[in-house]
Structures are given as C-alpha cells and as structure tokens.
C-alpha cells in the first residue's frame, strides 16, 4: 500500500486508525498471496453478506474504508477504537490488536 498516502490523508478519519486497521486485517496486504491482492485489493478485510468484497484498486478499497469509518465514527458515535471494534469486527481481540498497531505508529512518529 506504499504510495497511497494521499488517499489515506484525504479521509476525514485519523490516518493512523486506517493504517492500524489495515495492519491488523492483513499486514497492509502483505499477509495475502499476490494473486489474492490482485484479485481483491482488500487490505481491510471488508465483507458483506456474500463474503469478502472485491475492489478494483487499492484506492477504491481505501475510499470504501474511509466511508465506512466515517459512518461508524460520525453516525454511530464510535469515538474510541473499542467502540469502532464493537461495530466493525466480530473478534473480541480486534480492538486490542488495532490499538497495538495504532500506538506503534505514534511511537514510530515520535522517534523520527
């Protein structure tokens, strides 16, 4: 997902949250086989009733993630990672894992 910083920064949501979710779900696409990435472009693990959603590009997936998170945060009032996790994921460990990646990003920023 390198080179997609502008798409992430154009979102109304904290860019570190987007990156942390992508890290949790797929190590930013690195945990999937290349054929899978080429087919789905879905580093956030987004799915619907029919299964994993297929996007035509990483940019399209980022826009979908931004739209979803904006809706969850603004419309549903999810202000914390735990609250986002409650409506985003079924795994109870999800918020802790996302928070780990989120704090790691801040730590890296502070060490620059």
**CATH number of the domain that residue 16 is part of:** 1.10.530.10
Domain that holds residue 19: 5-110
> Domains in the chain: how many in total?
1
> What is the b/e burial string over 37-65, where b = at least 16 CB atoms within 10 angstroms of the residue's CB?
beebbbbbbbeeeeeebebeebeebbebb
pLDDT tens for the chain, residues 1 to 112: 677 788 888 888 999 999 999 999 888 877 777 888 788 889 998 989 998 899 999 999 999 999 999 998 888 899 899 999 998 888 999 999 999 999 999 999 898 8
Three-state secondary-structure class, residue 12:
coil
């Amino acid at each position: 997902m390198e080179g997609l910083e502008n798409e992430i920064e154009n979102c109304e949501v904290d860019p570190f949250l987007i990156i942390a979710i992508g890290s949790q779900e797929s190590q930013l696409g690195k945990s999937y086989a290349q054929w899978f990435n080429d087919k789905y472009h879905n580093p956030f693990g987004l799915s619907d009733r029919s299964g994993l959603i297929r996007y035509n590009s990483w940019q399209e997936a980022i826009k979908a993630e931004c739209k979803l998170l904006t809706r969850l945060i603004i419309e549903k009032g999810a202000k914390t990672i735990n609250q986002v996790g409650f409506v985003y994921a079924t795994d109870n460990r999800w918020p802790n894992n996302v928070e780990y990646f989120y704090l790691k990003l801040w730590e890296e920023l502070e060490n620059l």
